[in-house]
Structure 1
Amino acid sequence: MLLSSRFIGLLLGLVFYSAAAWAQASNDAFVFGDLLPDAPELAARGNHSVGVRTLTVTHPDQLDVLRSKGGQTPRYDRKLTLEIWYPARIPAGKTERVVYDQVMGSSNDPKRPLIPFTFAGRALRDAEPDPATGAYPLVIVSHGYLGSRLLFTYLTENLASKGYVVVGIDHAESTFRDAGGFASTLLNRSLDDLFVLNEIARLGAKNSQSFLAGLVDSDNTALIGYSMGGYGALNVVGAGYSAQAAKTFGQLSGGSNALDIRTTANPAYKTSIDPRIKVAVAFAPWGMERGVWDAEGLAGLKVPTLFIAGSKDDISGYEKGIKAIYDGAVNADRYLLTYLNARHNVAPNPPPVESLKPGLHFDEYYRYAEPAWNERRINNINQHFVTAFLGLHLKKLDYAKYLTLPLSPNEGAWTGFKPRSAVGLELRHDKP
């Protein structure tokens, strides 16, 4: 039977409409960090467009503790891959869209082979930097074990849109792709952070040939760490490790005493504390339940610090872990944001779609997911509070009202939150 020209026209119109609708839906699809309807006020992106670039740097002549034997430790050049988000100029006809390459799995676990996947972000690869408002404060971000520099794009892109240069580190021997022995992570977290700070300061000098020249104010730096990243970040800003931590490290590293230099008792440790780092954010920092810190070490933490934790954290611990660190940091102006009934995953992106596939190891999903919380909601709340904390201390913005809150929203309204939307949270604040 022949189809009428009118029917064919209607059919073609429907096809073209469907294609256009699909393209629109694809363009508007949820991207990690986008706002849910109940997102708090400061979760929204800022006024800057965002660019992103990848950079590899080399920390020469470092101790290779994974090859220590009998107290003898060889040396090697340690390569670190960095992802850098920054305020940018977006050319006409271009949009803030990027595709990130990531893997799930663990290179040191044969039961969890590496599985490549991609996910979208709201930044433009290699965009021209925008120095319109001068140099921007620096934010250095350190992942957990195992992890990746791309684990927090909901936050790194968000902060760049608010006028920060944000640097995510791939800590060698501690990522999904190159997992090595735990001793490397114990030693190198703080050393990597300090090296990256110095490298970004060098590249940000006005006479540098880097795209960062004149763009970054490394004298006004925040350090953000998650899990083992929090372990290292707290050490960088003043919480020296204990003698027990050094002893444990020696047992894990073939008798090496390399961690001694990061302990409170070592005179060289105090000289390493860098005044350019003004604040720290520690998501679920690991180590307190393992004796990593004692009272003297925690007393050395003096910069303003925001702790973020789940009350049921079964990796870092809560009462004897993260909250004990918070309670012991008696010389710091400090906050503790607690997600009630959350476990350890209070920092990363939501689970990627690929982690939902049948047959995958359960931990590919539980690397990201929380059993009692919507991870996208956690992301929005983190965006809000980290923005308030960094804005207050690095940009001197009038954000104290977002941090001066009752312990629980049951005791009074939380500024910046929509009615009824702060349930399940607590915020503590203590001063020296």
Structure 2
Amino acid sequence: MLKKITLFLLIGLSTTLSAQFIYGDPLPDAPALSARGEHAVGVRTITITNPDQPNVAAGAKEGTFTSYDRDLKVEIWYPADADLNATIEYPEVMGQSPDTTRPIIPFTFLGRATRDAKPKKGTSPYPLVIISHGYTGSRYLMTYLTENLASKGYVVAAIEHKESTFTDAGPFPATLYFRPIDIVFTLDQIDARSKAGSDSFLSGLADASNTAIVGYSMGGYGVLNVGGAGYNPQFAAFFAAQNGGNTAISRHIMGDPAYKGGTDDRIKAVVALAPWGKTFQVWNDEGLANLKKPTFFIAGSQDDISGYENGIKAIYEGAVNTERYLLTYEGARHNVAPNPAPPEALAPGLHIDEFLRYADSVWDTRRMNNVNQHFITAFLGLKLMGKTEYSKYLNLPEVAAEKGWEGFKPRTAVGLTLEK
């Protein structure tokens, strides 16, 4: 009888602890820099509008796009005068519109932030981090990272890319065309709103001249292009064939006079998680060699969306003119970046992709979240904050030796490689 009571107590305790876990919280085996920083976190939503853009999603007629004003929601996390332990409910959905086999199902999940909190102004503005989600995704896809970085003294802006979200999955050419544009436009808008005298809450809060751009999957495709990896000229021909001969995407192509990637001095670092494109020859050697911003790549060795050996690792190896790192989760597939799957995704009868959108079949997503927090903190701390003491977390043997890796608890630096 005592054994049964003890078992019920343990089950109850396990359930309680699971219910209290909030996305981004450290697990017992979390590496050192995954811990949240000293700041409470505020969060606000803004909408920015890029006027008179080609309506790629509507398709080209006789090679010509009509124009539209492109509205983007941007979620911004920042250091705040607020309760360190305050929790927040974020709205999200399962499903994929317009796929009728995957209807839109709203749900909420918890984070640690305060909506519309008063910004905490520092002695100087905070570095800026811009986040670009995958196709499809949302601005809330990586809150474990956005909150974590804000708590460490960054302003973090996550774009919700129009025609590329769960509820608004437009034709793929729109995502191909707009990813780099949305990233730069968001940077420009936050730069303007951060100036002294602006009536925005960002005035004096963010330092857009000290920016990192972070992208997952199609976001990785976008941030690499903005960072200097111009696309293959053959890619322009592919885009034109899909759009009645329209060559608008040439502005992202290596060698085209309109392409300005890599020339924005405000951008100091790039993080590309499972970047898509190399297996489809989006880049050639010349384009990858033009990436000169320090770049941190994160990948799963079994990525079946972006590819690994001929995909992400090939991008890493081709970027010969920049300081770069490649963190690999051995055995993981594509989902190395998102929040964990919500409990709602475990409901019987749902399409399996509601679960597989987030989860990995080998790795605990919460574990990957903690490892990502650790290494991205080290990389951005070094590149944007000048924390040279963080070098020890990056200058590691490719595979952890018997003593493990700096910042990892004994016996926990397993299943990972770090090339540099």
Structure number, greater radius of gyration: 1
Task: Answer with 267-276 or 328-337: which moved more.
Answer: 267-276
Matched, 1:323 2:323: no
8 A Cα contact 2:212 2:268, kept in partner: yes
Matched, 1:301 2:291: yes
Q: CA deviation at 1:108?
A: 2.1
8 A Cα contact 1:338 1:425, kept in partner: yes
Give the TM-score normalised by structure 2: 0.94
| Cα RMSD after superposing both structures | 1.7
Distance 1:425 1:271, change over 3 A: closer
- Tell me which residue corresponds to 2:301: 311
8 A Cα contact 2:230 2:261, kept in partner: no
Q: CA deviation at 1:256?
A: 1.6
- Tell me which residue corresponds to 2:146: 156
Instruction: Give the distance between the partners of 1:184 and 1:388, measured in 2 at CA.
Output: 34
Matched, 1:200 2:200: no
Q: CA deviation at 1:200?
A: 0.2
Amino acid in structure 2 at the alignment position of 1:84: I
Amino acid in structure 2 at the alignment position of 1:301: L
Question: SS of the counterpart of 1:270?
Answer: coil
- Tell me which residue corresponds to 1:414: 405
Matched, 1:344 2:297: no
- Tell me which residue corresponds to 1:364: 354
8 A Cα contact 2:250 2:258, kept in partner: no
Alignment of 1:15-94 (within 5 A): 29-66=20-57, 67-90=59-82
Instruction: Give the distance between the partners of 2:403 and 2:239, measured in 1 at CA.
Output: 46
Distance 1:52 1:271, change over 3 A: closer
Instruction: Give the distance between the partners of 1:207 and 1:350, measured in 2 at CA.
Output: 40
Matched, 1:101 2:91: yes
Cα deviation 1:64-98 (Å, max 9, x = unaligned) = 1123122111111000001000000016xx95211
Amino acid in structure 1 at the alignment position of 2:38: N
Deviation beyond 4 Å, 4+ runs, structure 1: 25-28
Cα deviation 1:82-130 (Å, max 9, x = unaligned) = 1000000016xx9521110011111121100111000011000000000
- Tell me which residue corresponds to 1:6: none
- Structure 2 spans left out of the alignment, 5+ residues: 1-11
Matched, 1:334 2:297: no
Question: SS of the counterpart of 2:221?
Answer: helix
Instruction: Give the distance between the partners of 1:134 and 1:44, measured in 2 at CA.
Output: 23
Q: CA deviation at 1:285?
A: 0.2
Q: CA deviation at 1:411?
A: 6.4
8 A Cα contact 2:403 2:410, kept in partner: no
- Tell me which residue corresponds to 2:419: 428
8 A Cα contact 1:305 1:334, kept in partner: yes
Instruction: Give the distance between the partners of 1:27 and 1:242, measured in 2 at CA.
Output: 47
Amino acid in structure 1 at the alignment position of 2:140: L
Cα deviation 1:140-167 (Å, max 9, x = unaligned) = 0000000001000000000000000000
Cα deviation 1:397-417 (Å, max 9, x = unaligned) = 020000000000146521000
Alignment of 1:374-385 (within 5 A): 374-385=364-375
Instruction: Give the distance between the partners of 2:66 and 2:231, measured in 1 at CA.
Output: 23
Alignment of 1:211-360 (within 5 A): 211-270=201-260, 273-360=263-350
Instruction: Give the distance between the partners of 1:250 and 1:43, measured in 2 at CA.
Output: 44
Give the TM-score normalised by structure 1: 0.92
Instruction: Give the distance between the partners of 2:95 and 2:261, measured in 1 at CA.
Output: 39
- Tell me which residue corresponds to 1:135: 125
Instruction: Give the distance between the partners of 1:272 and 1:59, measured in 2 at CA.
Output: 21
Q: CA deviation at 1:134?
A: 2.1
8 A Cα contact 1:69 1:255, kept in partner: no
Cα deviation 1:317-362 (Å, max 9, x = unaligned) = 0000000000000001000000000000000000011100000000
Task: Answer with 331-340 or 407-416: which moved more.
Answer: 407-416
Q: CA deviation at 1:273?
A: 3.0
Matched, 1:113 2:103: yes
- Tell me which residue corresponds to 2:390: 399
Task: Answer with 191-200 or 106-115: which moved more.
Answer: 106-115
Cα deviation 1:21-54 (Å, max 9, x = unaligned) = 99xx599700000010000000000001100001
Task: Answer with 242-251 or 336-345: which moved more.
Answer: 242-251
Question: SS of the counterpart of 2:214?
Answer: strand
Question: SS of the counterpart of 1:268?
Answer: coil
- Tell me which residue corresponds to 1:177: 167
8 A Cα contact 1:65 1:256, kept in partner: no
- Tell me which residue corresponds to 2:5: none
Distance 1:385 1:95, change over 3 A: closer
Cα deviation 1:263-322 (Å, max 9, x = unaligned) = 012122137731101100000000000010000000100010000000000000000000
Question: SS of the counterpart of 1:316?
Answer: coil
Question: SS of the counterpart of 1:399?
Answer: helix
Amino acid in structure 2 at the alignment position of 1:354: E
Instruction: Give the distance between the partners of 2:262 and 2:367, measured in 1 at CA.
Output: 37
Question: SS of the counterpart of 1:150?
Answer: coil
The aligned length equals: 406
Instruction: Give the distance between the partners of 1:323 and 1:364, measured in 2 at CA.
Output: 28
